[in-house]
Amino acid sequence: LSSCRNRLNATREVDPVALPNCRLIKGIEAGSEDIDILPNGLAFISSGLKYPGLKSLAPDKPGEIFLMDLNEKKPKASELRISRGFDLGSFNPHGISTYIDKDDTVYLFVVNHPHQKSTVELFKFMEEDNSLLHLKTIRHDLLTSVNDVVAVGPDSFYATNDHYFYDFILMFLEMYLGLTWSNVVYYSPKEVKEVAAGFYSANGINISPDKKYIYIADIFDHNVHVMEKHADWNLTHVKTLQLDTLADNLSVDPDTGDIWTGCHPNGMKLFYNDPDNPPASEVLRIQNILAEQPTVTRVYAENGSVLQGTSVATVYNRKLLIGTVYHRALYCEL
């Protein structure tokens, strides 16, 4: 049990790091698990995740995707309409990723868990009327328990499977026993294959601005893996950066290459769901991850009184968005 407690960082309390110019985002009440910002400052926010073993503040409400324009003076979040024919009732969005094609078409990939399954939904973003046009649902035997995706083409991506089992009891057993059966899969219409394995729980995944490296957060191993991407889409391990926190989603600043991550300082609190002792929030910025000594800065941290269970942090133009698994979202000016 002690190793399971270690993987959850069960004893850690958080030293606060305050940011002065922050406000909660109106309208986001039931999670903002993942956020992806386009180069033009439009931010997509995945909300309403229901995940085995974790609480939901709106258990009967389908998930939704919000949009925020970070160029506005006071950005607001508005729900994106999704085209007819898509089953909104069972929409349960998790990780997301955008891809801009050569013709400037914006694609949004959304990990979805309808009826406790795992699919990846492909949408086209219709900017003229702020809606999402559903193009296809991707299912595959290798996409078993998908957590996050990073798009590498208009219909191809890398995906993390955070567990081997999706059933909660087996999933907990997997964690308890310390099985490293979690993996990363490359998906394209022509080829689907496992490209990395041996994780406790591969979670957030992203790509370097030069597209040479893939970054993978292993949430229960408290680290970030750097993998080199090859022409055949295979990955080879370059290095691992150890952290004292459970890194969830990874965002990459396209200008600096810095990695920003939303973290759970103490994973036990996520599962315990004690209103008097909520899960805390922590945001890290990782600079020069390829260097001998990368710089890791705690940009924001708080004990859960404002924001519970941070899962993502991403920046645009000195603006920081911080999202959570099932709680609110925070907008900060740096």
Is 33 flagged in the annotation as binding?
A: yes
Q: Is 321 exposed, middle or buried (0-12, 13-18, 19+ CB in 10 A)?
A: buried
Q: What angle is formed at CA 194 by the lines to CA 270 and CA 259, rounded to 5 degrees?
A: 50
Is 248 flagged in the annotation as binding?
A: yes
Residue 211 confidence (pLDDT):
98
Q: Give the pair of three-digit tokens for residue 236.
A: 């080879």
Rounded CA gap, 106 and 204, in Å?
Answer: 21
Rounded CA gap, 101 and 302, in Å?
Answer: 38
Q: Give the pair of three-digit tokens for residue 281.
A: 């929030």
Q: What is the pTM of this model?
A: 0.97
Is 223 flagged in the annotation as binding?
A: no
Residue 176 confidence (pLDDT):
77
Give 3-state DSSP helix, strand, coil % of the chain, rounded to 5. 10, 45, 45
Residue 193 confidence (pLDDT):
98
Q: Report the sign of the C-alpha dihedral through residues 318, 35, 245, 238, in that order.
A: negative
Is 148 flagged in the annotation as binding?
A: yes
Query: What CATH homologous superfamily does 1-333 map to?
Result: TolB, C-terminal domain (2.120.10.30)
254's CB contacts (< 8 A; 6+ apart) are: 39, 209
Q: Is 225 a catalytic residue?
A: no
Is 292 flagged in the annotation as binding?
A: no
Q: How far separated are the first and last CA of the chain, in Å rounded?
A: 41
Rounded CA gap, 119 and 12, in Å?
Answer: 34
What is the phi/psi pair of residue 81, to 5°? -75, 140
Q: How many whole angstroms from its chain centre is CA 96?
A: 7
- Domain ranges in the chain are 1-333
Rounded CA gap, 215 and 141, in Å?
Answer: 24
Catalytic residue among 94, 113, 134, 264: 94
Q: Give the pair of three-digit tokens for residue 50.
A: 């229901």
Beta strands in 154-254 (DSSP E): 156-161, 182-187, 192-199, 202-207, 213-218, 223-229, 235-242, 246-252
What is the torsion angle, in degrees rounded to the nearest 10, for the CA atoms of residue 20, residue 21, residue 22 and residue 27? 160
Is 96 flagged in the annotation as binding?
A: yes
Tell me the average confidence (pLDDT) per consecutive run of 10 residues in the chain, 334 residues long: 85 92 97 98 98 90 98 97 95 98 98 96 96 98 97 98 80 80 97 97 98 97 98 98 97 98 93 89 98 98 96 98 98 97
Residue 172 confidence (pLDDT):
78
Residue 175 confidence (pLDDT):
77
Residue 208 confidence (pLDDT):
98
DSSP line for 122-179:
EEEEEGGGTEEEEEEEE--TT-SSEEEEEEEETTEEEEEE--S--SHHHHHHHHHHT-
302's CB contacts (< 8 A; 6+ apart) are: 14, 16, 17, 18, 280, 281
Element (H, E) at 99: strand 93-100
Q: Give the pair of three-digit tokens for residue 108.
A: 């949004």
Q: How many whole angstroms from its chain centre is CA 281?
A: 14
